[in-house]
Structure 1
Amino acid sequence: MSITKGDITANIEHHKNKPKKIFFGMVSNMIKHVFLVFRTYLDLFIDLVYGYFWEGKRTPIPDLEKKHAILTESAVTLAKKIRNKELKSEDLVKACIERIQQVNPIINAVTDERYEGALKDAREVDKLIESGLTDDYFQKKPFLGVPFTAKESHAVSGMRHTLGLLCRHHVRAHEDAECVRLLRDAGAIPVAVTNVPEVNKWMESRNYVFGQTCNPHHTGRTPGGSSGGEAALQASIAVPISLCSDIGGSTRMPAFFCGLYALNPTSGYTSLKGSALRTGEEKSMASIGFVSRHCSDLIPLTKLVVTADKTPELNLDRAVDVKQLKYYYVDTAQDLRVSPIAADMRAAMNRAITKLTADTTSTDNAPKPYYHAGFNHMFVLWRYWMTHEEDCFAKLLTNNTGTAYFWKEFLKKLVGMSEYTLPAILKLADDQVLPPVNKQWAEKLTAELKDDLIKLLGEDGVLLFPSSPTVAPYHYSPIARPFNFAYWAIFNALQFPAAQVPLGLNSDKVPLGIQVVAAPRQEALCAAVAAHLGEALGGAQPPCKINQ
C-alpha cells in the first residue's frame, strides 16, 4: 500500500493536535471534578438547611394493633384466605378503614373515601362465598374481597377526581378508569383515593386542594410523587393493594422513598384510559403499576392491568432462576444535572453487587460494570420524549378550558395570586420558555442507548441501577435539586420495564434501595431479582412497631 503526501501531512497534524486534546481532556476532567465536589457540598448545605426546619417535625405513626395484624399479609395471601373462608372480606375491609383512620391524620394521604360503600361491597362478597362459588369464578376474580386504594388521578366512579387542581376541586368521576375497572372485575374493592401533585408532574405529593402528604418513615420528608399518597398508605400498613402509574418515576420514586417494592411494566402494555383525563388512545411512555410491601404481589397485580391481547407477549409467569442470569450495573451516572450519589446509596448498590456475585453460578454471570454516554443526559432525553406526549400540561392546569402561561402565572405567584404551586409554574417554564432539545441528537442517542442495552441484556440479563442520588428528601427541598428524578425517568424514555427494590433502612431509619431494569417485555426478570435481593438485603421495613 502506497503512502501519499496527504497521509503524511494528516499524520503530522494528528501528532501535533494530540497534546492539545490531552490537555483539554485533563482540563475538562478537572472542571468536572471541581463541579462534583461543589455539588456534594451544596447537597450537604441543602440538607442542613431543610433538615433544620423539618427534622424536628418528625412524627411517628401509630403502631399496628394486633387486631389489624392481618394487614401485614400480601394481597395474594389475603385473597386466598377469603376464598378459603379463613377470613371475611368485611373484617379485612374494616381493618383497612380503621388503620387508614389512624394514620391519615399524620400522613395526609387520603383525598376521598367510600368506607360505607366498601363495607357494603365486602358483605356482598362474603354472602357470595357462603353461598358457594366455583373455582372458575375465583379464577376470574383472583382478588375477590381484597380492598384497594388508587391515586386520585385514576378515575374512580363517584369519587373526587381533582388531579390536585383548584379548578377541579368539585369534580367527581362518572365512571372508572380502565385500570380501576379491571381491578373491580378481579373482585377487588375500592376504599379510597389518594393525593397527587398537580396533574402528576412533580416529585412531591402536594397541592392547594389537599395539602402535603408525608412519608411515614419520616414525616419531615416527602413520600415522593406522583403516587405519593399510595406509597404513604402502603408503607403505613393500611391497604393491601395500591394502584399507581409512572411516566417519570411516579410509581418507583414513591416506592423507593417509602421503602416498598414496585414494578413499572414495559410502556404500551397497560391502558391509560381514564387516568389523568386520557382517552386511552394516546401513545405514551407512561404505564400503570403498583407499589407493595410484598414483591410476590407485583406480577399477579400487573397481570390484571395488562391489555388482554398483549398479555402473552410479556410472559409474566416465566420461571426465572436468578443464579443463571447475567448481571450488569451502573453505580453512578455522569449527568451533571443530578446530584452525586450519596454514600449510603452507593453502599446499598455495593451490597447488591456483592450478594449477586456470591450467588451466581459462573464468573461469566457475575455483575459487571456497564456504562453508556446516554446516561450523561438522562434528564434531557426524558424531557425530549415528554414533548411526544399527546396531553398538554398547560391546558390540563386549566381543566382544558384554556392555557396557563408561565410569565403570567409567575407574576401572579410573586404577589400570591396564582392557583398553582411553584413546581407547576416551573414546569410551564420548562415547556414554554426554555429552548427545545435537539431532535436529531436526542433520537439518535436514545436509539443508541436502547439498542445497546437490548443487545447487552437480551432475554436473560438485568441492569442494577441507582434509584436516586439520595434517600427521601425533606419537604420542599426537591425544588433545589429538580433533576434527581432522572435516575427513574431515563427508563421511561427508553420504555424499559423496571422494578424498585427496598434494601432496608439507613442509619437515620430512612429507606434504601436500587432499581432492577430489563429489556422490553422482560418484567419477570425484574420481579425475580427484586424478590431475591429484597429478601436477602432488608426488603421492606415497617415504619412502626407491629403488635402480633
Structure 2
Amino acid sequence: MFEFQSVNMGKKLKIFILYAKLLLDFAIDFFFSLYWDKRKKPIPDLESKHAILKESATALAKKIRNKELKSEDLVRAVVERIKEVNPIINAIAADRYEAALTEAREVDRLVAVGLSEQEWQKKPFLGVPFTTKESQAIKGMPLTMGLWSRRKEVASEDSEAIIRLKNAGAIPIGSSNLPELLVWQETRNLVYGMTNNPHHTGRSPGGSSGAEAALTASYATTISLCSDLGGSTRMPAFYCGMFGHHPTPGSTNLRGVFFRNGDEESMFSLGFIAKHVEDLAPLTKIVAGDKAKGLNLDKDVDIKNIKFYYLESTNDVCVSSVRAELKGAMKRAISKITQELTTADAPQPYHHEGFNHMYVLWKYWMTKEPDNTALLYTNNTTEANGILELIKKVCGLSKHCLFSVVRLIELQFLPAVDSAWAEKLTKEFKDDIFTKLGENGVLLMPSAPHVAPYHYSCLLRPFNFAYFAVVNALKCPATQVPLGKDSQGLPLGIQVLAAPNNDGLCLTVARYLEKEFGGSVMACKSK
C-alpha cells in the first residue's frame, strides 16, 4: 500500500513539475517579448542582381568551372550582400574583402587559361567564397575567441581546416562572431557585441556558430565552416532554419581551432551549415580528408530500407518541455515517412534512461575535454576564480559575459558528476541505441524544447541545449533538418541521428525531408 502511494505521489510530482516548467516558460517568453518584439528589424530582400546567392556552393562551383560565372563576380556579390545585412545582424567579426577579390581574379585567370581534369578534382570548390567562426585560425586575421584579453591577438598560421578548404579552391572572405569561449546558446561577447537572428532580430541565432547561421539564412555566405562541442553547428542551424551536419567526432582535424592540436580525444567536430543538403557531404569530405571514407558519405542508401525510430521528448528535469508546434513538426515527418516509405517498417518510438540525463552526461564528458576553462579566461596567464569574477561583474569591473562567469562558477564550485554513474550510463546508452540503429537505422529527435529564444532569456533556461549536447556525449553524427515555420514565422526542425560513422544515413534522410518539407527557411524574400 505504501509503495503504491509513493508511486502515485511520484507521478503527481512529475505532473506538477511539468506544468510548472510550462508556466515558467510562457511567463519568460511573455515578459521578454514586451521588450524585444518592439525592436525587431527586417532583413533586406535579396535583390535580383544577387539571385546567384540562392544556389548551393556545389552549383556555384560548377558554374565557375563551366565559365558561366566568374569568381570575382560571386565574391563581389557576397561582399555586397554582407554589407546590406551585417548592420542588422552583426555577424562579421573581421573581413578580408579586398584580398578575397584579388584571389578571385586569380581564379578567373586560371579558369580562362584552362585546368586539367586532375586539377579540377583537387579543387572542387574553386573560386567559391566562405566564412567561418572567428575561432578558426586564418593567418593574419583576429583570433580572440571572444575574449577581451585576446582582443589584439592575430593568427600566425591557418588552421588545418582552412588549409584544406583553400586547397580545395575555396576563398576565405571573412570571420564571424562567436560567444565568449564558444560555449553558450547566444553569439555575444565584449569584443564584437551581439549577433541577431535574421528571422527576428530580438532573438538568438544560437551559439556558438550563430553568426554563420545568420549569414547563411540571409543569403550572405555560400560556404559556412562551423564547429560543434555541444550543438554549436546544429543549434544555430535550427534557430535560423538551415541544415547543419555534425560529423562523427574524430573524423575532422581540429588543429588550429580553439587551441586544439588536432590529435585530442574529443566530442568536438567540425561541420557546416548550409541552405542545401547537397553541400554537406562534399564539404565534410574536405575537412575530414583521409578519414572521409569512414563516414560512408557516398554510400548508396535506399530511403525505403532505412529503419526509423523517433523520440518525442524526454524526462530530463533540467530542460523545458517540448512545445506543441515542435511536436507537431515531428509528427508530420513521421506521418510522411509512414505513408510514403511503405516497404520499410513503420517508425518505432525509442527511449533510454540516458535521455533523462542529457545535460548531466554532457557536463561529465566536458570534464574529459583538454581545455582548461579557468586558464583560458585570462588568455593562459593565470586561473580565474568564478566567485571573484562574479563580484567584479556585479561591480561593473568584469571583462567577461555573465554566462561565462556562471559557467566558471559551475565548473569550480558546484558538485561534480559521479564518474562511475556517468560512465556506466553512457556505455549502456551507447550499447542500446547503436545496437538498435545498426548500420541502417536513424533516430528522429527534437532539436530543442522551443524555437529561437529571445536575447538573454537563455540565462533563465540554461540547459535547453541538452537535446543537442547529448549527441556530442554519444559521439555520433547528427544532421539538423528544417521543417517549415511555426505560427510566429520562426523555423521548426528536428535532428536526425545515426550510429557512429553512418553520416551518410543522416544526409540521406535530410535530403528526403528537404524535398518533402521545402528545405531551408530563409529570413527574407528573394526578388
For the superposition of Structure 1 and Structure 2, which TM-score range results when normalised by the shorter chain? over 0.9
Q: Of residues 281, 302, 308 in structure 1, which corresponds to 2:263?
A: 281
Aligned residue type for 1:264 = H
Work out whether 1:182 is the aligned partner of 2:154. no
Q: CA deviation at 1:50?
A: 0.6
Counterpart in the other structure of 2:520? 540
Counterpart in the other structure of 2:2? 20
Counterpart in the other structure of 1:474? 454
Q: 2:25 and 2:443 mapped to 1: Cα distance? A: 27
Aligned residue type for 1:437 = V
Counterpart in the other structure of 1:231? 213
Q: Of residues 487, 491, 510 in structure 2, which corresponds to 1:511?
A: 491
Q: 1:171 and 1:307 mapped to 2: Cα distance? A: 29
Aligned residue type for 1:84 = N
Q: CA deviation at 1:223?
A: 0.3
Q: CA deviation at 1:403?
A: 1.0
| 1:114-169 CA-partner distances (Å, limit 9, x unpaired) | 00000000000000010011111010000000000000000011111111010111
Counterpart in the other structure of 2:471? 491
The aligned runs of 1:116-195 (5 Å cut-off) are 116-195=98-177
Q: Of residues 81, 86, 89 in structure 2, which corresponds to 1:99?
A: 81
| 1:466-511 CA-partner distances (Å, limit 9, x unpaired) | 0000000000000000000000000100001000001111111110
Q: Where does structure 2 lack aligned partners over 5 or more consecutive residues? A: none
Q: CA deviation at 1:361?
A: 2.5
Q: CA deviation at 1:533?
A: 1.0
| 1:360-410 CA-partner distances (Å, limit 9, x unpaired) | 223x62111111011000000000000000111111111111111101101
TM-score, normalising length: structure 1: 0.95
Contact 1:222 1:475 in 2 (8 A): yes
Aligned residue type for 2:457 = S
SS at match of 2:36: helix
Q: Of residues 377, 380, 390 in structure 2, which corresponds to 1:397?
A: 377
Contact 2:228 2:270 in 1 (8 A): yes
Q: 2:170 and 2:3 mapped to 1: Cα distance? A: 63
TM-score, normalising length: structure 2: 0.99
Q: CA deviation at 1:536?
A: 0.8
Q: 1:286 and 1:68 mapped to 2: Cα distance? A: 35
Q: 2:310 and 2:104 mapped to 1: Cα distance? A: 45
Q: 2:410 and 2:303 mapped to 1: Cα distance? A: 42
| 1:221-270 CA-partner distances (Å, limit 9, x unpaired) | 01000001111101100111000000000000000000000110111111
SS at match of 2:271: strand
Contact 2:284 2:292 in 1 (8 A): no
Counterpart in the other structure of 2:445? 465
The aligned runs of 1:35-46 (5 Å cut-off) are 35-46=17-28
SS at match of 2:14: helix
SS at match of 1:502: strand
SS at match of 1:425: helix
Q: Of residues 298, 303, 310 in structure 2, which corresponds to 1:329?
A: 310
Aligned residue type for 2:394 = L
Work out whether 1:259 is the aligned partner of 2:235. no
Counterpart in the other structure of 1:438? 418
SS at match of 1:112: strand
Counterpart in the other structure of 2:253? 271
Work out whether 1:56 is the aligned partner of 2:38. yes
Aligned alpha-carbon RMSD (Å): 0.8
Q: 2:112 and 2:336 mapped to 1: Cα distance? A: 47
Contact 2:45 2:524 in 1 (8 A): yes
Q: 1:402 and 1:243 mapped to 2: Cα distance? A: 31
Moved more, 138-147 or 503-512: 503-512
Aligned residue type for 2:454 = Y
Q: CA deviation at 1:311?
A: 2.4
Give me the identity figure in percent: 54
Contact 1:324 1:361 in 2 (8 A): no
Q: CA deviation at 1:528?
A: 0.8
Q: 1:453 and 1:170 mapped to 2: Cα distance? A: 46
Contact 1:465 1:517 in 2 (8 A): yes
The aligned runs of 1:265-414 (5 Å cut-off) are 265-308=247-290, 310-362=291-343, 365-414=345-394
Q: 1:365 and 1:423 mapped to 2: Cα distance? A: 45
Q: 2:296 and 2:506 mapped to 1: Cα distance? A: 12
Q: CA deviation at 1:333?
A: 0.9
Q: CA deviation at 1:320?
A: 1.4
Q: Of residues 397, 402, 418 in structure 1, which corresponds to 2:398?
A: 418
SS at match of 1:501: strand
Q: CA deviation at 1:541?
A: 2.0
Q: 2:372 and 2:212 mapped to 1: Cα distance? A: 25
SS at match of 1:97: helix
SS at match of 2:169: coil
- Structure 1: 4+ residue segments shifted above 6 A: none
